[in-house]
Amino acid sequence: MDPKERSADKAAQEMIARMAEAGQQNAWDRLQAQLPQCGFGKQGVCCRICAMGPCRITKKATLGVCGADVDTIVARNFLRAVAAGVSAHSDHGRTVAEVFIATARGEAGDYKLKDTVKLHKLAKELGVETKDRSLNDIAVDVGKIALAEFGKSEGTQLMARRAPEPRQEIWDRFGITPRAVDREVTESLHRSTMGVDQDYRNILMHASRVALADGWGGAMLATELQDVLFGTPYPGRGEVNMGVLKKDQVNIIVHGHEPILSEMIAAASQDNELLHEAKKVGAKGINVSGTCCTANELLMRHGIPIAGNFLNQELVIATGAIELMAVDVQCVMQGLTNIAKCYHTKLVTTADKAKMPGVEHISIEETTALKTARELVKMAIDNYKNRGQVYIPKDKKSAVGGFSFESINYMLGGRYRASFRPLNDNIINGRIRGIVGVVGCTNPKIPQDWTHTTLTRELIKRDVLVLTTGCATIACGKQGLTNPKEALELAGPGLREVCEAVGIAPVLTCGSCVDNTRLLVSCSELVREGGLGQDISELPVAGACLESVSEKALAIGQYFVASGALVVFAKEIMPVLGSENVSNYLFDEVEKDLGGHWAVESDPVKAAEMILEHIEAKRDALGINREKERKLYDMEDRRALAVE
């Protein structure tokens, strides 16, 4: 297959061609070997939940052995997938909470509480007394309350109070205000075992509840606590794509999701003693870069380069330039073990819950994290001499990362009057039509990065501000879309004017997949700031992921839908099409209940048009598409004038 059909990224195309020449396998080859893939699985109509099955629904056999119909089976599978995604983000959040508490207690000396302003803000929000108390005491209490959110036996998620009140009322009305994460995940599994919940609408309502426990719970806490621990991101420059690898340096890749590991490796790589060791083996330095979400975390906070996204993980090893790849959890392909064997690359697992057969495991623990990270860096240095042939594609682009909610607020309003007001005003006056989150993975079924970057270009051209996270933000970075200079040329006139005035790109890098919660917080703030309705469902916003892979993407999609947003996925990847009722509910009827809904569109240009139509409909409903006809200025006009 032509590498261009596999990836829109030139560097990846080069490496795909080289791997093919060398007879090496990657995800695209394994996908070919899997074809044709199971049609029942794709449609979501296969059930293997109990030992009377597996059952699959066909025209001839319309019911499972237990009598379950296609709606029940499809809804159950969907709920389980969402719950699995939630468990991944939220388990990450729990780990952060544990390290947070250990740090505050002085038991994890290598970590520090870096953003004490945010700590105070969180403390206030969570009702922790701050007066006359030490930072560490405050942090212990904040950490304990956060940790309880994962498993408390009573009450609902505290972070859900950040949502606009009408939104919280909707959740209450439908009984889906999320309780503890563990409880919602457990209940998801219970409801979807054989012979329990058999009403597809009831099942799907719980998919919303468990997803909300992530978006307004576990994942949001992961982001908030990481900001306090490692610093809230502010804009800074970095570079993206395989060209960031250095031929004359020791290259270390951190891959996975939790900054608990990558922060320490980044710190260890600056250690003078180790730099000296690297020189001794003939390397000019130690070059740390990342793949997948952990890379986003490092770019956001330190400007550390990104070597690639999900589908790049095997390709980077095939450069022959990687001395060590340290992985933790999530989106780590087992295929890495084989490709690492073809090179000198040392692959190391670091999370006790994620080991790989035949791969060395070095556990990262919070009490000894930096020491372990130093050992890993030393391993990489020692491995430098074993390098064979190296080929590094030249492509890389400069990118600006670091758009947290706080930094967007600050960029827009300035330190002393940090505020979303200018953004709201520019949405109201129509220079910016709306805001779209382009998020998620890269899937070998679709040319890598193609939909994310095409959709993003189409949206900014139409004056829509794009916020990106996960592998989509890396895709945009690789094509220069998160670089203000390059991207502004592609933006529509209104969006361009605003971005130039504020000094931001029309495409903002907002971080990893757990950082999608930054988008939820931003939506709440758009509502709170005023002039754009009372609830998220009234905002001219949407989310899109046309290359989704992971169950996590479904969890994110569902929490955006349940928060009132439109979410667009590619048709062939949405695993519910086998049931007309489930599809109708998720694509349409759910809007009447929760204000948001799913849609499917595989073509990124058509997806942009669909999203624009949605945005304009929301603008119409808000009454902000009217020609300016008012003669008298009210307070809102005056405020708008003040920023224009």
- Helix, strand, or coil (residue 567): strand
Which of ligand BF8, ligand SF4, none does 503 bind, CB closer than 5 to 8 A by kind? none
The string of DSSP letters for 162-196 reads GS-HHHHHHHHHTT-----HHHHHHHHHHHTSTTS
If one asks whether residue 68 binds ligand SF4 (CB under 6 A), the answer comes out as yes
Task: Report yes or no: 149 and 90 within 8 Å, Cβ to Cβ.
Answer: no
How many residues form the binding site for ligand BF8 (CB under 6 A)?
17
Instruction: Give me the sign of the Cα torsion angle 578, 581, 584, 590.
Output: negative
Among 3, 64, 444, 564, binds ligand SF4 (CB under 6 A): 64
Query: Taking the complex as a whole, how short is the minimal distance between the CB of residue 63 and ligand SF4, in angstroms?
Result: 8
Structure tokens at 352: 């006790």
Helix (H, G, I), strand (E, B) or coil at 437: strand
Q: Smaller CB distance to ligand SF4: residue 69 or 271? A: 69
The distance from CA 517 to its chain's CA centroid, rounded to whole angstroms, is 9
Q: Is 377 in the site for ligand BF8 (CB under 6 A)?
A: no
Binds ligand BF8 by CB under 6 A, chosen from 265, 331, 499, 562: 331
CA distance 629 to 631: 6
Binding to ligand BF8, residues 506-525 (CB under 6 A): 512-513
> What residues numbered 552-571 form the site for ligand BF8, per CB under 6 A?
552-553
Q: Site residues for ligand BF8, window 154-173 (CB under 6 A)? A: none
50 binds ligand SF4 (CB under 6 A): yes
Give 293's contacts (C-beta < 8 A, 6+ positions apart). 256, 257, 330, 331, 470, 471, 512, 513, 514
- Which whole-number Å values give the CA distances from 409 to 2, 137, 477, in the listed order? 44, 29, 22
Is residue 394 within 8 Å of 241, Cβ to Cβ? no
Binds 220: which of ligand BF8, ligand SF4, none (CB < 5-8 Å by kind): none
Asked if 65 touches ligand SF4 (CB under 6 A), the answer is yes
**Interface region with ligand BF8, contact rule CB under 6 A, candidates 154-162, 405-413, 518-526, 545-553:** 545-553
Contacting residue, 8, 47, 104, 400, with ligand SF4 by CB under 6 A: 47
Residue 52 within binding range of ligand SF4, rule CB under 6 A: yes
Please, what is the minimum distance in Å from the beta carbon of residue 46 to ligand SF4?
A: 9
Site for ligand BF8 in 403-462 (CB under 6 A): 440-441
Question: Binding partner of residue 48 among ligand BF8, ligand SF4, none, CB under 5 to 8 Å per kind?
Answer: ligand SF4
Q: Which residues pair with 322 in a beta bridge?
A: 251
**Which of ligand BF8, ligand SF4, none interacts with 552 (beta carbon under 5 to 8 A by kind)?**
ligand BF8
The strand pairing partners of 466, in sequence order, are: 436, 507
SS3 state at 327: strand
* Under rule CB under 6 A, residue 48 binds ligand SF4: yes
Helix or strand run (H / E) with residue 239: strand 236-240
Choosing from 470, 477, 578, 596, the residue that interacts with ligand BF8 (CB under 6 A) is: 470
From ligand BF8, ligand SF4, none, interface partner of 45 (C-beta below 5 to 8 A by class): none
| Interface region with ligand SF4, contact rule CB under 6 A, candidates 58-66, 235-243, 307-315, 467-475 | 58-66
Interface pick for ligand BF8 out of 550, 581, 583, 602 (rule CB under 6 A): 550
Q: Does 441 bind ligand SF4 (CB under 6 A)?
A: no
Kindly tell me which of 47 and 491 has the beta carbon lying closer to ligand SF4: 47
| DSSP one-letter code for 542 | E
Any residues with CB less than 8 A from the CB of 132 and at least 6 apart, and which? none
**Does residue 582 touch ligand SF4 according to CB under 6 A?**
no
DSSP secondary structure, 389-410, as one string: --------EEEEE---HHHHHH
CA distance 422 to 405: 14
Total of residues contacting ligand SF4 (CB under 6 A): 14
CA 83 from centroid of its chain's CA atoms? 16
Q: Residue type for 597, please?
A: H
Query: Which DSSP symbol is given to 8?
Result: S
Choose between 328 and 535: whose C-beta lies nearer to ligand BF8. Answer: 328
203: its two tokens: 């099942």
Is 158:126 a contact under the CB 8 Å cutoff? yes
Q: Which stretch binds ligand SF4 (CB under 6 A): 9-17, 49-57, 347-355, 468-476?
A: 49-57
CA distance 445 to 42: 13
Q: Binder to ligand SF4 among 15, 16, 19, 55 (CB under 6 A)?
A: 55
> What span, in angstroms and rounded, lies between the C-alpha atoms of 498 and 506?
9
Q: Where are the beta strands (DSSP E) in 243-350?
A: 250-255, 286-291, 306-308, 322-327, 346-349
Residue 329 near ligand BF8 by CB under 6 A:
no
* Smallest gap from residue 290 Cβ to ligand BF8 (A): 10
Residues 265-304 that bind ligand BF8 (CB under 6 A): 292-293
Residue whose CB is less far from ligand BF8, 103 or 453: 453
Residue 53 binds which entry of ligand SF4, ligand BF8, none, CB below 5-8 Å type-dependent: ligand SF4
Which of 292/315 has CB closer to ligand BF8? 292
In angstroms, give the least distance from the CB of 195 to ligand SF4.
7
Amino acid in position 524: S
**Contact set for ligand SF4, span 177-206 (CB under 6 A):** 194
Q: In one letter, which amino acid is 206?
A: H
Taking the C-alpha atoms of residue 472 and residue 455, their distance in angstroms, rounded to an integer, is 11
- Residues engaged in binding ligand SF4 (CB under 6 A): 47-50, 52-55, 64-66, 68, 73, 194
- Residues engaged in binding ligand BF8 (CB under 6 A): 257, 292-293, 309-310, 330-331, 440-441, 470-471, 512-513, 549-550, 552-553
